Amino acid sequence: MSISFHQEERAFRLDTPGSTYLIALADQPGFLGHMYYGRRIPDTAMRHLLRLDPAGPPFQDNGDQLNFLGDLPTEYPGCGLGDYRESCLRVETEEGFRACNLTYRSHAIHAGKPALPGLPATRGGQEDCSTLELICADEALELEVHLYYTAYEELDAICRSARIVNRGSRPVKLTAALSACLDMDNRDFDLITLHGSWAYERMIQRRRLGWGTQGVCSQRGISSHSGQPFLALAEHDANQEHGQVYAMNLVYSGNFLAQAEMTQQEYLRAVIGIHPEGFGWKLDPGGSFQTPEAVLVYSGHGLEGMTHTFHDLYRNHLIREPWRNRPRPSLVNNWEATYFDFDTEKLLDIARTAAGRGIEMLVLDDGWFGCRDTDDNSLGDWFVNEKKLPGGLKYLADQINALGMKFGLWVEPEMVSPNSDLYRAHPDYALQIPGRKPMEARHQLVLDISRPEVRDCVYAQLKAALSSANIEYVKWDMNRSLTDVASFCLEADRQGELFHRYVLGVYELQERLLADFPGLLLENCCSGGGRFDPGMLYYSPQIWTSDNTDAVDRLRIQEGTALIYPLSSMGAHVAACPSHTNGRVTPFATRGLVSLPGCFGYELDLTKLTEEELDMIPGQLENYRKYGPVFHGGDYYRLASYGENGEYDALMSVSKDKRTAVLDYVHVMSRQRRRSVLLPLRGLDEETLYRSSETGEVRSGAGWMYGGMVMPCMTGDSTGKLIVLEAV
């Protein structure tokens, strides 16, 4: 087992293949101190890292207890008693008092990993992980906290969460309940985060860590386009292959805080969890609160090592059956082809063209329900508009199935249009503050999904629609942030629970959907990539990466996404041209290259393509069938970044057996160059011989990696190549 308690050192030890995590019981009164996290070491007696010597005598004899707590590296810090850094746990009593501090009570070590009721989380059996449960308490508050640490046997990942239990006779309010804290000394770290906006999600930002607090957050009710529940601390000279990296990612789809703080003493504290702003959870006697799971990853081999750990963890322990390792079908979505202007015959025209070229699925997007010919009505009325679709979804699905294709459907169950039958019947079902006109966005309001009767109403309609036809795929959209966050069914002292209850309601709906339709392929979407997070990945094995389908912009968006998420999770389509996002013109072949590593599809009117473009589709689909398993199941390597060099982009994936490598190269900007581009490859077996599909040249893995591959100068913007190396 990879977790142990060492009585002599009064220390807990968690080992993964390449890392060690050490926790110490500090001297009385039993604070849990963080000793060490980093490259795997054999030592456990590392109490010098608690940095207690300058503090003088033990805590209870020290006249300066405040500085003791203010400097102690702490596993799960409280508030109000001398630690002025960001706290993980904040409480407020009925009298309005705000202070808490946790001390150790007991512990247990379990084989395997417990589930988190109502929350998505990574999975693990007794054979591949073990879990440390530390039970702590604040005696004055009669509050008990269970800290969970799961260490994986084959991955350098440690998953953390906390369960807070009120053992007293009076209620208390949690005003902050974060998931994880990591205290250490600053070692010339850079802070890496993923920021963005609609249509430019997950842009990589790397900056020198400075004094004070810095990080990313969301208070929008979703993990959001503008931030990602992730941060990494990388040594300043760390690159893709070398250097130490510490990363945190939150398995959650709502408001979050991911923050690093450096004090005047150059102590560093990184925290991640539900954002405390707007959060207040009333904990009645006997009640408990479970925080979302935080994934901690350590890499001693640069960003590449971090990425590989996240990819393997999420592919094998987060994404669920039956789609965990299954090839994803190619598809065509009608949105950019027709928008709302379609009927059965138009959809079948697209489907016939698609089937003739080998595309496996047609997805019907917005506009199939209610009176939905524009975006200002009918959300919430999930019954088929038979004026558009005579015979309903069944007739359309049957016709598409007869062509040898699957059929999929778009829905947006969390929203309601003020101009809808549902809203006219139940205006109280929408989030709104009494006395205020609720704020519309995209002509829609947000349903109060925290309420069981609202979930039941929406789900009954959704289930009826999906049961009416052979629907094998659902695209679940969510197109606005939350405002007017108030519920008619929560008491005044529980309104602060609504943001979190909303997220729990979404999770319950998706769990119900998958239970009733166990073979369904679910793809989450949030106005593009606004809720691309591990929480959503638990329910849907793929997520729509961005509404921006322009191939050049997608290079940066997909690079940032792939920093932590497997390529198999990224919805990536060949879209209409000129781009509906920015008007850019890129060749059809290049759009296919950019989309190939993800979950491949088309987002355009196939009937308007040229014969030359139509003739390219079978070849693109053949590449997806042959090399999709390498992209989706292999190890990903970032060889060159268009976001950094402004000229060309290159990634490669290597199969786990190292027999096949696929290089995806796009030369974005044509410039006058004197020399070709030399790309040193990575991830190959040094002794194995590989043949290039481009030139037929055979070299050893060492030759390709250290000698590099020459990419000749290309004329014209946005040209590219797909090159395969096969072992011989």
Q: Any idea which residues carry the catalytic annotation?
A: 477, 547
Nearest in space to 331 (alpha carbons), one of 272, 417, 278, 409? 409
For residues 147 and 293, the answer to whether their CB atoms sit within 8 Å is no
First vs last C-alpha separation in the chain: 40
State the Cα–Cα distance between residues 21 and 75, nearest whole angstrom.
Answer: 11
Partners of 13 in beta bridges: 4, 22
Cα maximum dimension of the chain: 85
3-state secondary structure of 624: helix
Give the helix ranges, DSSP H, for 178-301. Answer: none
Burial 554-586 (b: 16+ CB within 10 A, else e): bbbbbbbbbbbbbbbbbbbbbbbbebbbeeeeb
Tracing tokens 């789900």 back to the chain, one arrives at 459
d(CA 33, CA 31): 6
Please give the backbone phi and psi of residue 511, each rounded to the nearest 5 degrees, phi first: -65, -40
Q: How far apart are CA 595 and CA 331, in angstroms?
A: 12
To the nearest 10 degrees (0 to 180), the angle between helices 611-633 and 344-357 is 70
Q: Quick one: three-class SS letters along 286-336?
A: CCEEECCEEEEEEECEHHHHHHHHHHHHHHHHCCCCCCCCCCCCCEEECHH
Q: What is the Cα–Cα distance from 613 to 606, expressed in whole angstroms?
A: 9
The 8-class DSSP code of residue 707 comes to I
Q: Which of 527, 583, 598 has the alpha carbon at shortest distance from 197? A: 527
CA distance 245 to 683: 19
Q: Look at residues 518, 562, 72, 564 and name the one whose alpha carbon lies nearest to residue 322.
A: 518
Q: How far apart are CA 542 and CA 544, in angstroms?
A: 7
Q: Which helix (H) or strand (E) holds 345?
A: helix 344-357
DSSP-derived secondary structure letter, 555: H
Which helix (H) or strand (E) segment is 185 a member of? strand 172-185
- Long-range own/partner contacts, residues 422-428 (CB < 8 A, 24 or more apart): 422/380, 422/381, 422/457, 423/380, 426/454, 426/457, 428/488
Helices (H) and strands (E) in the chain, counts: 14, 38
